[in-house]
């Protein structure tokens, strides 16, 4: 598989186009906003979108979902049902962060641990990784050693846990028990910022060292 990230909105959230190189069929992961830019990139890359995938329900990851559905007529899959309360409360999220209201939507299909998603001839494994939000998901392409992990882990940092439904201990367990066992060689695309590998973060990330696993 191949991918392109497009940082969108003031949150600089990585909307990710992840596609099967054999078929040019793609998923749009976490369209956080700026739908015209996302549509233009799809056209420039000559990709055929199959569906929208969501890692979780925070506004900076779902903001353009309704607009893309209108333009592309594709279904929305994910996140996990435990994030339904966030998607239902988009207006409250916008008020909390002082941003204009966003159009609401309802996912066509909730996803859970152990599910799979096909993209052209490729398959993504679904991992439930709560902590940043209760229903946060990760999408893993085993053959390509590539994962899109949303806001679970970043280069040198981890996802925040002070928003509704956040849980620091759950987040650390998601990282150490579900992500790191995938392999040190796995490259990951985070929800914000540059890519890294699980091996690099396991060795150097101060937030996942044993002494740093308990909040102050």
pLDDT (average), residues 176-191: 97
48-53, strands of its sheet edge to edge: 2-8, 13-19, 25-29, 48-53, 76-77
User: Given this model, what pLDDT does residue 216 score?
Assistant: 41
Q: Report the length, in residues, of the chain.
A: 216
Q: What is the mean pLDDT of the chain?
A: 95
Q: How far apart are CA 160 and CA 162, in angstroms?
A: 6
Q: Residue 202, exposed/middle/buried by CB under 10 A (0-12, 13-18, 19+)? A: middle
pLDDT in tens, 107-162: 999 999 999 999 999 999 999 999 999 999 999 999 999 999 999 999 999 999 99
41-57 residues labelled b (16+ CB within 10 A) or e (exposed): bbeeeebebbbbbbbbb
**pLDDT tens by residue, 61-119:** 999 999 999 999 999 999 999 999 999 999 999 998 998 999 999 999 999 999 999 99
Give the global pTM: 0.95
Residue 206: half-sphere exposure toward Cβ, Cα within 13 Å: 1
Pick from 145, 142, 160, 161: nearest CA to 196: 145
Q: Determine the distance from the C-alpha atom of residue 117 to the mean position of all C-alpha atoms in its chain, rounded to a whole number.
A: 14
């Amino acid at each position: 598989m191949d991918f392109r990230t497009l940082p969108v909105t003031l949150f600089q959230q990585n909307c990710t186009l992840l596609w099967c190189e054999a078929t040019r069929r793609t998923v749009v992961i976490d369209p956080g906003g700026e739908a015209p830019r996302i549509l233009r990139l799809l056209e420039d890359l000559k990709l055929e979108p199959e569906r929208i995938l969501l890692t979780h329900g925070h506004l900076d990851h779902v903001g353009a979902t309704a607009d893309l559905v209108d333009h592309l007529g594709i279904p929305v899959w994910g996140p996990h049902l435990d994030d339904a309360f966030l998607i239902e409360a988009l207006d409250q999220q916008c008020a909390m962060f002082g941003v204009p209201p966003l159009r609401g939507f309802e996912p066509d299909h909730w996803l859970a641990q152990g599910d799979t998603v096909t993209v052209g001839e490729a398959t993504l494994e679904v991992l439930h990784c709560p902590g940043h939000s209760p229903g946060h998901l990760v999408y893993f392409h085993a053959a390509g050693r590539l994962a899109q992990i949303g806001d679970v882990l970043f280069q040198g940092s981890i996802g925040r846990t002070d928003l509704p439904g956040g849980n620091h201990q759950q987040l650390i367990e998601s990282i150490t028990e579900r992500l790191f066992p995938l392999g040190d060689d796995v490259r990951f695309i985070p929800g914000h910022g540059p890519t890294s590998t699980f091996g690099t973060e396991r060795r150097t990330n101060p937030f996942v060292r044993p002494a740093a696993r308990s909040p102050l």
